């Protein structure tokens, strides 16, 4: 009897299209980011319900500081509001929060809020939610290398992997980008080496449970070889072997 297709253990998402969603509705771009928070809440619940163990989302990149001042300011205000409103819900739903990124450029209020949110949800085990905020993939690699150099450790693949900002979780199995663009945009460059890529034309505020299920279904129909041949992969699968 064939086993049920595996649900990805770790899903990573570039939540793209909030601004365009708002612009098409003649709304300020910040309104799109607010709607994006609603979509993220829906996605977190859906991932937990489907048995996904880790969800990592790109909330604010290190390059996003170059956006218009009013949009950046609105995003920072939105983060403060979201922390106050969402953390109690995440705590109740068994979600553990990790914020990944450079914190030195953040305000004291936001930095303190991130720490408090992590501490409040530290004992939750149903789903790990990594929110990449003021994050960049190149920053992540450079930071890890600098840490190894400061400790006098060899710059090996294993040591670098252990020093990366997401070393507390396995690498993503499925990398989703919404909004119609088809690039990584400096997100999880190291960790996504063997992730299956899925690009959706839906803008992030429109990415619902059905869209998530579509991405998971595509993932389940991919053959993940990790350098092996198809024959080797099939031979190693229990559902392909005789009972």
| The pairing of beta strand 10-14 with beta strand 95-100 | unpaired
130 is catalytic: no
C-alpha–C-alpha distance, residues 56 and 166, integer Å:
9
Q: Are the CB atoms for 160 and 144 separated by under 8 Å? A: yes
C-alpha–C-alpha distance, residues 89 and 93, integer Å:
6
C-alpha–C-alpha distance, residues 199 and 160, integer Å:
28
Residue with tokens 């559902």: 239
In this structure, the chain runs to a length of: 243
What is the DSSP annotation of 181-214?
--S-TTSSTTTTTTPEEEE-SS-GGG--HHHHHH
16 is catalytic: yes
Given the residues 18, 64, 93, 124, select the one marked as catalytic. Answer: 64
Nearest alpha-carbon partner for 89 in 50, 120, 49, 56: 120
For residue 180 the two structure tokens come to: 């119609």
Residue with tokens 């198809």: 230
Q: Known catalytic residues?
A: 16, 64
């Amino acid at each position: 009897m064939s086993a049920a297709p595996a649900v990805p253990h770790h899903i990573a998402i570039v939540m793209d299209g909030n601004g365009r969603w708002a612009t098409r509705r003649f709304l300020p771009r910040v309104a799109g980011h607010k709607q994006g928070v609603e979509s993220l809440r829906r996605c977190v619940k859906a991932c937990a319900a489907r048995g996904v163990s880790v969800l990592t989302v790109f909330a604010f990149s290190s390059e996003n500081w170059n956006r218009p001042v009013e949009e950046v300011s609105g995003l920072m205000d939105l983060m403060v509001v979201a922390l106050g409103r969402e953390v109690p819900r995440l705590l109740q739903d068994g979600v553990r929060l990790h914020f990944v990124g450079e914190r030195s450029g953040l305000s004291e209020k936001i930095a303190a809020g991130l720490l408090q949110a992590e501490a409040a949800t530290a004992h939750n085990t149903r789903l790990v939610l990594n929110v990449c905020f003021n994050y960049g993939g190149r920053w992540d690699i450079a930071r890890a290398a600098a840490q190894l150099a400061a400790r006098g450790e060899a710059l090996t693949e294993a040591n670098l992997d252990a020093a990366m900002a997401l070393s507390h979780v396995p690498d993503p199995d499925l990398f989703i980008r919404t909004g119609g663009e088809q690039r990584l945009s400096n997100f999880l460059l190291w960790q996504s080496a063997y992730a299956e890529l899925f690009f959706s034309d839906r803008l992030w505020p429109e990415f619902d449970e059905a869209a998530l299920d579509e991405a998971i279904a595509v993932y389940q129909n991919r053959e993940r070889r990790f350098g092996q041949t198809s024959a080797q992969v099939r031979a190693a699968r229990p559902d392909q072997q005789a009972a």
